[in-house]
Amino acid sequence: MNAQPIHMTWKMKEVVLTVILAVACGVIYLGWSTLWIPISALVGPVGAGFMFGIWIIASPIVAYIIRKPGAALIAEVAAAAVELLTGSHFGLSALLIGVFQGIGAEIAFALFGYKRYNLMTLMLSGALAAVGGVLYNVIANGFGYYTTQVLLLTLIIQMISGMILGGGLAKIVVEALCKTGVLDQYEIMKARRKKGKPNGIASGV
């Protein structure tokens, strides 16, 4: 059983875990997003970009734990759906942003054939999620009307924020979760056990 490199089929507990973690992220975003627009009004899109990474953290967290194709995209969309369901914010547009950011984050893991899950790919997914987000804004909110410098600067800052607050923070959070033992039955810990002691798992077969 453990010879397969990537498990394509999702187990039920992985499905529910993905949704619940995304929902938890979505609930935390709600707290953040009430602060978001007032800050943006004051410091402009460039300054507000510093906190961007928090918004896309669901993707790297879930992908890092589950390690399956689609995890990053689904997590971000489900997290965005929380805003839709609580009816408190931008509803359908939040869902669309989620799709764009999720696709961005997903690409990072796809590039490495869903085989590499480390700080580098997590940060890359944060950065690409930022690209997805900016792309949506260009299409929907007419970022094109900003000066090119503002646009570029926003993109760069959001990418950096996505790398640090998205990818980096996701790694810290998941490592902390690993220590509490709740992830023992999931892919991330299985991969570690496989690495640690090669006989530990094979004995079950």
Residues 182-201 touching another protein, rule: CB under 8 A, are 182-185, 189-190, 193, 200-201
Residue 5 or 87 with smaller CB distance to another protein:
87
Residue 152 interacts with another protein (CB under 8 A): yes or no = no
Length of the chain: 205
| Nearest residue (CB) to another protein, 51 versus 110 | 51
Asked if residue 30 lies in contact with residue 7, where contact means CB atoms within 8 angstroms, the answer is no
Contact between 97 and 139 under an 8 Å Cβ cutoff? The reply is: no
Is 3 one of the binding residues for another protein (CB under 8 A)? no
> Is 170 buried (19+), middle (13-18) or exposed (0-12) by CB count in 10 A?
buried
Pick the closer one to another protein by CB: 111 or 141. 141
The three-state secondary structure class of 174 is helix
Nearer to another protein, 93 or 119 (CB): 93
The whole-angstrom separation of Cα 117 and Cα 176 is 16
Q: Indicate the residue type of 203.
A: S
89-148 residues near another protein, rule: CB under 8 A: 90-93, 96, 139-142, 145-147
By CB under 8 A, tell whether 25 contacts another protein: yes
**Which of the ranges 34-42, 101-109, 111-119, 124-132 carries the binding residues for another protein, by CB under 8 A?**
34-42
Q: Under the criterion CB under 8 A, does residue 176 sit at the interface with another protein?
A: yes
Give the span between the Cα atoms of 176 and 167, in whole angstroms: 14
23 binds another protein (CB under 8 A): yes
